[in-house]
Amino acid sequence: MEAPRRQVGVWQAISVCVGMVIGAGIFRSPAVVAANVGTEADMLLAWGFGGVMSLAGALCFAEMAAAFPDPGGDYHFLRRAYGARAGFLFAWSRFAVIHTGSMAMLAFVLGDYLGELADLGTHGSSAMAALAIVALAAVNLKGLRAGIGAQVALMVLVFAGLLAVGFAGIAIAVQGAPPATPAGTGGSTAARLGTALVFVFLAYGGWSDAATLSAEMRDARRGITRALVIGMSIVTALYLLANWAYLRGLGLAGVAASQAPAADLMLRAFGPAGQAGIVAVVAATAITSMNAILIAGARTTYAAARDTGGLGALGQWQVVRGTPAWAIIAMSVVALLLVGLGTWARSGFSTMVDFLSPVYWFFLTLSGAAVIVLRRRLPDAPRPFRVPGYPWVPIAFMATSAYMVYASVAFVRIGTIFGIAILLAGLAFLAALEWRGRA
């Protein structure tokens, strides 16, 4: 099999890393984080810790991607480390929980921010979320794809949006205006801080895909390390700047009470024009991220269905339009059902985070352990890049991921129950497929 060519430079990889990680989550998650911490210092420390541990995870993925390059990324690593059943269960979870839950979550972010510009009514945010999913499904069924230029333009747009948020906080500070609400007092309980960290790490998601570039770096040994360290440092600095600005302009209680903290901050600093501008940035970010998930997720679903067999139309490719049409339709239907779940639970964004977090972190825990498993199982495999500080860095990442699983289920919510139930349904589905194969 032909291996990927090593043609990616460090700065190209940095741009991909930053672009994959920064998304709409940073414009919505801080409100939930603020509601679960006791002080502004706790909030900033949580975001700093999230950046450090995300880098640790990215370094783990970088070693596996360099040693076992494959477009399947973590799906391939899990199959290598634990076998085909683990790979199938991960593919099932991506389809039924992680990718579709992420689409519904981003759709709610879009609806919440559009609701800041116009009164959309009681279920307006949900209606906009559903409309966005249907529209993107229709576009992808026609075979249209977002080009690399559009993705780069999005990265620049989001980067500019976060800088604008930071500038708004600086402008308010220069004016000498106090925060809109008093600073928080008291400390954070361990349980509430755990809940806050779930939303912090959500906003840092995406590094697992960026780490797979290690197989294509021109500098096989140091390139991916430099790219990930610099890229994640940029992301962490931007996130800390944005959260400082939220706190400086709105205060801890104000951030906690906001459905769209960036829009409220820009309104206070620059008036309606600033608010409209940041809403446009968030809307573009959410739509493009949802489209990217639908493109990649439908193809992962198609590939897993093709490899497994017995899944009917999901494993079919529509040659004329160049799309896995039934996989696109299936993902869109599941995402719409999840919008309905979020609407019923009356907390769309938070419900989707509850829904996907325990499953997402369960597989990241397994992926962190896979670094150690593969080193022991395949000690002679070429490893152009090795995790610095092995085995302590993978162990620290595994421990953090395991804690995220715990924090996701510590206070059982309706979304968490559904997410775990669907994961267990995947086990039953796999058993049925194996039984039918033996019959």
The distance of Cα 216 from the centroid of its chain, to the nearest Å, equals: 23
Please give the full DSSP string across 290-341, using - where no structure is assigned.
Answer: HHHHHHHHHHHHHHHHHHH---GGGG--BTTTTB-HHHHHHHHHHHHHHHHH
Separation between Cα atoms, residue 236 and residue 209, nearest integer Å: 17
Q: For each successive 10 residues of the chain (439 residues), what is the average pLDDT?
A: 65 77 85 89 93 91 82 79 88 88 90 80 83 88 56 72 91 84 58 84 82 72 80 91 94 90 92 91 83 76 69 67 80 92 83 89 94 94 89 95 89 79 87 71
What single-letter amino acid sits at 151?
A: Q
pLDDT at 1: 43
Provide the H-helix boundaries in 28-147: 29-35, 40-67, 74-82, 84-93, 99-117, 124-141
- Asked whether residue 385 is domain-assigned, the answer is yes
pLDDT at 215: 67
The answer to whether residue 182 sits within a structural domain is yes
Identity at 145, one-letter amino acid code = R
Cα angle 71, 428, 424; round to 5: 75
In angstroms, the CA 270 to CA 243 distance is 18
Asked whether residue 4 is assigned to any structural domain, the reply reads no
pLDDT at 182: 63
Q: Could you tell me if residue 388 is inside a domain?
A: yes
Question: Is 1 within the bounds of a domain?
Answer: no
Does a structural domain hold residue 2? no
pTM above 0.75, yes or no: yes
Q: Are 218 and 9 in contact (CB under 8 A)?
A: yes
Which of 249, 197, 191 lies closest to 43 in space, CA to CA?
197
Helix (DSSP H) and strand (DSSP E) numbers for the chain? 17, 0
Q: What is the pLDDT of residue 146?
A: 44
Evaluate whether residue 102 is within a structural domain. Answer: yes
Nearest to 129 by CA among 148, 101, 151: 101
Residue 136 belongs to some domain of the structure:
yes
CA distance 304 to 379: 28
The predicted pLDDT at position 188 comes to 54
Using a 10 angstrom Cβ sphere, with 0-12 exposed, 13-18 middle and 19 or more buried, the burial of residue 236 is buried
Residue 153 has a pLDDT of: 66
Tally the domains of the chain.
Answer: 1
Residue 147's pLDDT is 43
CATH code of the domain containing 132: 1.20.1740.10
Question: Which residue's entry shows tokens 């039924």?
Answer: 96
Question: Terminus-to-terminus CA distance in the chain, angstroms?
Answer: 34
Residue identified by tokens 């991220």 is: 289
Please give the residue range of the domain that contains residue 188: 10-432
What crossing angle do the helices spanning 124-141 and 272-308 adopt, rounded to 10°? 50
